Amino acid sequence: MDIKQLLQEIENKNAGQTEFLQALKEVFESLEPVIKRHPEYEKANILERIAEPERVIMFRIPWMDDNGDIKVNRGFRIEFNGAIGPYKGGLRFHPSVNLGILKFLGFEQIFKNSLTGLPMGGGKGGSDFDPKGKSDNEVMRFCQSFMSELYRHIGPNTDVPAGDIGVGGREIGFLYGQYKKITNRFESILTGKGRNWGGSLARPEATGYGCVYFTEEMLKTKGESFQGKRVTISGSGNVAQFATQKAMELGAKVISLSDSNGSIYIPDGITKENWEFIMELKNLKRGRINECSEKFPCEYHEGIHPWGFECDIALPCATQNELNGNEAKKLIDNGVIAVAEGANMPSTPEAADLFIANGILFGPGKAANAGGVAVSGLEMCQNHIGLSWSFKEVDEKLHGIMVNIHENALKTSEKYGSPGNLIVGANIAGFLKVANSMLDQGII
Ligand code: GLU
């Protein structure tokens, strides 16, 4: 099979879906040795089938703001691949959301979920609604309107959304309340729920902790650890917050965090008190990261990413394509030893290539940020058996899953001729399980 030609055909069909085409190209190119070794995938036309979502739902979300004006947003749910389990993946509320971005996220989710070892298919959804600057009541009315359409497409064994950028505990609460009101059913149709109503302990921590556990495994292969390392982290939302906490716990100095306006820089490392202030600032006051410089000594750099600060480890935890080739060069020149993606596809292809070419330990998002959805899978499991596990139990399971993902990606990279390249290893390992399930199930 000519993968280049196939990519060209898919590009023609999906013109303008830049992020989706970027994610697809990365996966398909790394699958070349698999397709050569296993002609059955080509025969069953698996690649062309896997590139096409099983279902795309797009809908109108009318809602009323606090002034009584009627607003309209666009809602989506992409049910990308259900070969290994119910569709699973977050909802993103951000003005940048469009079909191409959600298709990229849904596509990544197929392989990420497969890597967790849990029975979850790939899905993603969201809206171009911007929660920034909206009142709690506006967010509630928006979420209720969103669920008034979404409820008919989801179910505990069909499709189970969760949070992503712009969707946290508050939004999941409003969405869940509306689902229950419409259907009169209390069931596991969302994850990231509150702990009093079916949520799992350690779900808020899971993506950030998981990313650090994954990085620890990468570091171990070089006889290294987090102890005494300088870590630069982008973002200051859920993933960044708990990556910071865990890295600090393991003895690292977290020297920066950021938001879409700029970065803070604390050469001596964030303290526990600083971290608590940031948690309140971001989760309750919903303020901006520059407010830190009014509260404790730190430099604030307006309009820049935190990749120029000298560090040993970089954890991009904000959003897609936030770390480009020039920034990767800067990190490499400054002596970075490991980069792990807490966000989905934060490194551009040029940046990822540079990290691999320079022998930097590189954990791609599909593997390094799978901890969030993994604990979502554990939340579903607890809901199904009607039990609630302790924080320690969930955290230990999460740790075990991240260790397995690393081992699986590493071994697969060796088996398919790119030893140590975890992009190749994660893509192939994630793909094999889904592709074989598709083969087992016939022409679906
Ligand atoms: N949005 C997260 C992700 O990108 C979590 C999805 C989930 O928990 O279903 O994996």
Q: Would residue 142 be called left, alpha or beta, if left means φ above 0 and alpha means ψ between -120 and 50 degrees?
A: alpha
What integer best gives the mean pLDDT of the chain?
98
Pocket test for ligand 1, best of 110, 112, 164 (most atoms within 8 A of CB): 164
pLDDT tens, position by position, 282-294: 999 999 999 999 9
Task: Tell me the sheet residues that pair with 90.
Answer: 162
- Residue range 175-219, pLDDT digits in tens: 999 999 999 999 999 999 999 999 999 999 999 999 999 999 999
Domain 53-186 classification at class level: alpha beta
Q: pLDDT tens-digit profile of 230-276?
A: 999 999 999 999 999 999 999 999 999 999 999 999 999 999 999 99
CA of 92 to the centre of ligand 1 (A): 10
Segment 58-63 mean pLDDT: 98
For the Cβ of 90 lying below 6 angstroms from any atom of ligand 1, the answer is yes
The DSSP code sequence of 8-58 is HHHHHHTTT-HHHHHHHHHHHHHTHHHHHH-HHHHHTTHHHHHTS-SEEEE
The confidence score (pLDDT) of residue 14 equals 98
Domains 53-186 and 206-368 share a fold: yes
Q: What is the pLDDT of residue 100?
A: 98
Mean of the pLDDT values across residues 59-75? Answer: 98
- pLDDT of residue 1 exceeding 90, the answer is no
Report whether pLDDT(74) > 80.
yes
Closest Cα to atom 5, ligand 1: which residue? Answer: 373
Would you say 135 and 53 are in contact if contact means Cβ atoms under 8 Å apart? no
Q: Any catalytic annotation for residue 329?
A: no
Distance (angstroms) between ligand 1 centre and the Cα of 212 equals 16
Ligand 1 pocket residue status of 188, Cβ below 6 Å: no
Q: Give 46's Cβ-side CA count (13 Å radius).
A: 24
CATH fit for domain 206-368, picks 3.40.50.300, 3.40.50.10860, 3.40.50.620, 3.40.50.720: 3.40.50.720
Domain positions in the chain? 53-186, 206-368
pLDDT digits (tens, 9 = 90+) for 304-321: 999 999 999 999 999 999
**pTM of the complete model beyond 0.95:** yes
For ligand 1, the distance from its centroid to the CA atom of residue 109, given in whole angstroms, is: 8
Predicted pLDDT at 71: 98
